[in-house]
Amino acid sequence: MTMIGAPSAPDEPARLLNLEQYEILDTPSEEGFDRIARLAAHLLRTPLACINFIDGSRQWTKAAYGPGLTSGPRRDSLCAWTILGTVPMVIENTHADPRFAHHPAVVGEPYIHTYAGVPLITPEGHCIGTLCVADHQPHPFIPRELQDLQDLAGLVVNELELRAHSLASDRRQPSPQRRDDELRRGLDQAWVLDGLTGLIGQELSPEDMTLKAADVLGGALNADYIGLLQFKGEELRETVAYHTPQVALALDALSAPLPEWANSVTMTLKDLNQPMYLDDYPLVSGALGAMVAAGVQQIAWLPLGTRNGVTSLLLIMRLQSNPVMRWRGGDQGLLTAAGRCVRAALDRQQELERAHQESRRDALTGILNRRAMYQDLIQRHLNKGPFLLAELDLDGFKLLNDQEGHIQGDKLLQVFARTLKVELGATGEVYRMGGDEFVVLGDTDEETLHDAVDVAVLAARQVGALRGASVGIAYSSEGAGETLLVLAEERLYAVKCRRLAVRQQGVASGLH
C-alpha cells in the first residue's frame, strides 16, 4: 500500500511563487538554519529536527538534526499536511494514522513514532514549509514545547527574510515606479502559475502541454520568443510556442539548418538540470551568428527533464529592442516555479500513460488483454478501414493442463502467444481473452494468419503435447463490435466441431 498524499494548499500558485522569491531551494547548508534545527531538537528533547520546504512536487530539507524527515517526493511528505493549516500538527502515533502508516520513515528502521510540525508562515501569509521534530518512541508534547516550536519557526522566517534582504541589497535599488511595476508583475505571475497548475489535470500530450504552458508564460515574461527544444540522441527539434512579430528574423535563424548548431551553447545544455539565464547573449562563446544578427540579446533555458529518450528544454528569448533589459529576480522565480509545475504535469502524464499501458497487458503472457481488445476494436471501427478479426482456441490444452500441471500450461501459453505476435509483426495484434482463448485484430489475410498460427503451435509443442489451434475468422464488413465477435466465435466452434468429428471418425475406423 502507499501513503495518502496531501492535497494542494488552497493558495498553491501564490504559495509556490512566494517560496521561489526566497531563492532558498537547492542552496547549500547555512549555519543560521542549522542552529535553529539543533535548538529545536534540544528544547523538545527529540533525536530528529528538520527545516523543510514544500514545492510543487517534493519536500526539500534545508537543515536537519539527526537522520529522519529529509528530502523526498511531496506525496510521501508528512510536512505537506502541516502546511495546510496555520497551527502545529501533532501525530502521537504515526502507525495508527492512515495518512502516514505506510510512510517510508514510519515502516523503516529506525521508524518515526511521534511527529510535531509547525508551518513556516511568510509575511504574505503563505505556508511555504515547516519546522518539525520527530521521535522513534512515544513522546507527548506539552503546550509549552509546542509554543517553543512556533517561536523557533518564527526565527526561521526571520532568517529567510534577512537572507532575502541581503540578496536584494546586492541588486540595484528600484524606484517607487519600479516597485509598483514589480508588484503588478507579481500579481500577474500568480495568475500565470494558477493557469499552469490547471494544466496538470488536463489530458494533453507532453508536447501539447508544454506548448500551452509556454503560451501562458509568454506575456508574463515580456518575451519575444518561447520555443520547445527536444533532443533525441544527436537530433534537435524546435517547435515555436510563442513569439512577437518583431522576432521574425530570429525565427528564420532558428529554423534554418545551420552548421553552427553543432557547436552552439544550446547544444551543450541538453543535460541542464537548473534554469540558466544570459543577459548578454552576443558576448557568449557559442552564440549563433545568425541569431546575434537577428538582434537576440537575452536568452533563458528552462529544463523540463527526459522522458522516453527525449530531453526537453524551453528556450526563451528577448531582443535588443525589448524594454526589459535583464532577467530579473521575479522572472527567474516565475520560470523556476513554472518549470516545476510543468515537470510535475509531465511526470503525472507519464505515470498515467504507464498505468494505462499496464492495464492493457495480460500479466501471464505480456501480450494485450481483453480490455485492450475491446478498446482497439472500437478504434478500428472508428477508423473505418477494413480489418480481420480472428478468435483462436488451443486444442487439447485442458488435457495438457490436467496431465502436466498449470506451471507447464502457463509456459505453453507464453510461448504460443509471444511466437504468434512475432510471426504476425505489424500486420496484426494479439490479445489473450482468458484461459487458452486468443483474438487477433489485423490487416493480414487468412493464409498469413494460418501460417503464423501453425508456427506458434509448433513452438508451443516444444513445451507440451498441444494438438493444434482452431481459428474462426470474421471481417469488418460483416458486422461491428459484439456482432463481429459472435460471428468469429461461431466459426471457431464450427471448426472445432469438424475437427472433433474427424478425430472421432478416425478412432472409430481404428476400432474396426
Q: Check: CATH 1.10.760.10 for 368-511? A: no
The 10s digit of each residue's pLDDT in 406-455 is 889 999 999 999 999 999 998 999 999 989 999 999 988 889 999 999 99
Pairing of strands 437-442, 388-395: antiparallel
CATH of 12-169, one of 3.30.70.20, 3.30.450.40, 3.40.309.10, 1.20.1740.10: 3.30.450.40
Closest alpha carbon to 424 in 392, 400, 401 = 392
pLDDT at 277: 83
Closest alpha carbon to 139 in 65, 48, 78 = 48
368-511 and 12-169 share a CATH fold: no
The 10s digit of each residue's pLDDT in 160-183 is 998 888 777 655 555 555 555 554
- d(CA 312, CA 345) in angstroms, rounded, equals 14
Cα 104 to chain centroid distance, Å, stands at 21
Read off the DSSP letter of residue 335.
H
Confidence label for 150 from pLDDT (cuts 50, 70 and 90): very high
Q: What is the residue whose three cell numbers read 528533547?
A: 45
* Buried/exposed code over 95-130 (b: 16+ C-beta within 10 A; e: otherwise): eebeebeebebbeeeeebbbbbbbbbbbeeebbbbb
Domain ranges for the chain, please list them. Answer: 12-169, 177-355, 368-511
- Indicate the range of 245-249, 288-292, 319-323 predicted with least confidence: 245-249
Structure-block grid coordinates of residue 111: 521508524
Answer whether residue 265 shows pLDDT above 60: yes
Average pLDDT along the chain: 82
351 CB-near residues (< 8 Å, 6+ apart)? none
- d(CA 92, CA 113) in angstroms, rounded, equals 7
β-sheet with 437-442: strand ranges across? 368-369, 428-434, 437-442, 388-395, 468-475
Tell me the whole-structure pTM to 2 decimals.
Answer: 0.47
Cα 33 to chain centroid distance, Å, stands at 32
Q: Which fold has domain 177-355?
A: Beta-Lactamase (3.30.450)
311 CB-near residues (< 8 Å, 6+ apart)? 230, 231, 232, 270, 271, 305
Closest alpha carbon to 272 in 217, 335, 324 = 335
String of DSSP letters for 156-193: HHHHHHHHHHHHHHTSPPPPHHHHHHHHHHHHHHHHHH
Answer whether residue 8 shows pLDDT above 90: no
SS3 category, 201: coil
